[in-house]
Structure 1
Amino acid sequence: MTQPEKELPPALFMDLDHSGPVPLYHQVATRIERAIVDGELPAGARLENEIALGERLGLSRPTIRRAIQDLVDKGLLVRRRGIGTQVVHGPVTRKVELTSLYDDLAGSGQHPSTRLLLHEVIEADARLGEILGVEPGAPILHLRRLRSADDVPVAVLENYLPTDFTTIGEGDLAEHGLYQVMRSRGTTMRVARQRIGARRAEPDESALLEIDDGGPVLTMDRTAYDNSGRAVEYGHHCYRPDLYSFEITLVDK
């Protein structure tokens, strides 16, 4: 459910200095950020539009737009197509570890939700058969999901699982992450090989993630293996770069 627009209290901007050395856009951004950090603007709150806010404060639309963009760049606000500007918890920083996005979001205090876009049993082609260690033509499970955090879309997840996971039902994935479901079936993910990249979003990805058409997305390809060395999952995912990043620790040998 879309939240109504929240009008920022005039007292928040009472001390704006129109003649000082600090740019007005920075002063506005700082005060909105303080309202977010203090909880006056909770996650999910929608800000009034730039024109209305500018008119109330006696500031130009470019000034307001620059202030809002600064907070978007910090991951505190997000622009959502057809909805407006909305407060988020902040960007998800994912350590490159063998965890699922669902686990990462829940662990960071956000509330993950899933929209199942595709759930089908298909025949493995030569490429997927090689990745998953099954014969071409063997039945495999193909999933495509939209993962959101506090109702803000973060990632489009596409997964392929070998034959013994084709019984995973749509209901299993509505309330739980894929790795949770797999662990509940006795699977222990032990190691994964993954590649991180970037590209332009496909048209349907732009719409699902509520970003500009052809905007940039982060990508991750991952093959996960269980404790016997068998491939149990292959995933190709794309993420909003303004809300998501990967964190890697480097060690000098």
Structure 2
Amino acid sequence: MRLGVDRASPVPLYFQLAQQLEGAIERGRLAPGSLLGNEIELAGRLGLSRPTVRQAIQSLVEKGLLVRRRGVGTQVVHSQVKRPLELSSLYDDLEAAGQRPATRVLRNVLRPAPAEVAAALGVPEGTQVILVERLRYAHDEPMAYLRNHLPTDVVDCATDTLQTTGLYRMLRDAGITLHSARQTVGARAATDAEAELLGEPAGAPLLTMERTAFDDTGRAVEFGSHIYRASRYSFEFQLLVRA
């Protein structure tokens, strides 16, 4: 892995180094469990002072990307998933980021649509819909609890397929063209059950997302209610200035 700093840049040297290390972790070049060279070795290789290297490493320790282990050294823990705020699948985003996504299907059943689900999908309350609950992993670590409702005639939600691919990929494979979505992002504390599923302490902060996705005919084809570990996940989006 090549590292380097621009001494002519106004950006502090420690921050340049921290950004390069963080980028390497996010792109999978530094996989979870990897050991960094010690501070003296890194400082010598880059021609930096030891305090500069220590400050860069400490900033990533504080972000939860690195951990110092006595007798072992500085070790990569994981990267935080930065997901673009657009109509995309978490599975596809994780796969594209080299995060080795995996899925555990908790429930895959038919149920009468409650009022909120019926309103989102545009069907009468009590209509039979598919409910799919999944736990999504990255690098064998739980990342998100996903709860989705779909009309019964949209896609065959086979459990075996759900365990090996993303829901939006299944929709595309079924000939559904996803066109737009209505989405709300929020935050709250984890319940005891949610914390246990996601490997977080009870009351830990969670990111929440509710989304209704529409196909190119304007029909609602999916209503999702998801929670994500705030320690491992963030939404990222671009803001444009309107003239």
SS of corresponding position for 1:238: strand
User: Could you tell me how far 1:90 is from its partner in structure 2?
Assistant: 1.0
User: Could you tell me how far 1:46 is from its partner in structure 2?
Assistant: 8.8
SS of corresponding position for 2:153: helix
* Percentage of identical aligned residues: 47
SS of corresponding position for 2:120: helix
Across the two proteins, how many residue pairs are aligned to each other?
Answer: 198
Alignment partner for residue 160 of structure 2, among 168, 171, 174? 171
The amino acid that maps onto 1:43 is A
Contact 2:102–2:136 (Cα < 8 Å) also in 1: yes
Contact 1:121–1:166 (Cα < 8 Å) also in 2: no
Quote the Cα distance in structure 2 between the aligned partners of 1:86 and 1:198.
30
Alignment partner for residue 97 of structure 2, among 108, 114, 120? 108
Which blocks of at least 5 consecutive residues in structure 1 are unaligned? Answer: 1-25, 48-66, 79-84
Is residue 33 of structure 2 the alignment partner of residue 45 of structure 1? yes
Alignment partner for residue 180 of structure 1, among 169, 174, 184? 169
Cα deviations by residue, 1:96-116 (Å, 9 ceiling, x for unpaired): 111010011011111100011
Alignment partner for residue 132 of structure 1, among 121, 130, 135? 121
Matches within 5 A, 1:84-103: 87-103=76-92
Q: What residue number does 1:15 align with?
A: none
Which blocks of at least 5 consecutive residues in structure 2 are unaligned? Answer: 1-13, 36-55, 68-73
The amino acid that maps onto 2:165 is H
Q: What residue number does 1:213 align with?
A: 202
Contact 1:220–1:237 (Cα < 8 Å) also in 2: yes
Change beyond 3 A, Cα 1:153–1:227 = same
Contact 2:155–2:170 (Cα < 8 Å) also in 1: no
The amino acid that maps onto 1:45 is G
Q: What residue number does 1:225 align with?
A: 214
Change beyond 3 A, Cα 1:73–1:105 = farther
Q: What residue number does 2:150 align with?
A: 161
4+ residue runs of structure 1 moved beyond 6 angstroms? Answer: none
User: Could you tell me how far 1:69 is from its partner in structure 2?
Assistant: 8.2
Quote the Cα distance in structure 2 between the aligned partners of 1:86 and 1:209.
22
TM-score, with length taken from structure 2: 0.72
Alignment partner for residue 240 of structure 1, among 226, 229, 232? 229
Change beyond 3 A, Cα 1:213–1:86 = farther
Contact 2:155–2:174 (Cα < 8 Å) also in 1: no
Change beyond 3 A, Cα 1:115–1:77 = farther
Cα deviations by residue, 1:36-92 (Å, 9 ceiling, x for unpaired): 86xxx9634299xxxxxxxxxxxxxxxxxxx998545424148xxxxxx98444111
Quote the Cα distance in structure 1 between the aligned partners of 2:98 and 2:209.
23
Is residue 139 of structure 2 the alignment partner of residue 118 of structure 1? no
CA RMSD of aligned residues (A): 3.1
Quote the Cα distance in structure 1 between the aligned partners of 2:185 and 2:167.
20
TM-score, with length taken from structure 1: 0.69
Contact 1:141–1:166 (Cα < 8 Å) also in 2: no
Alignment partner for residue 74 of structure 1, among 40, 59, 63? 63
Change beyond 3 A, Cα 1:149–1:77 = farther
Q: What residue number does 2:193 align with?
A: 204
Quote the Cα distance in structure 1 between the aligned partners of 2:197 and 2:58.
21
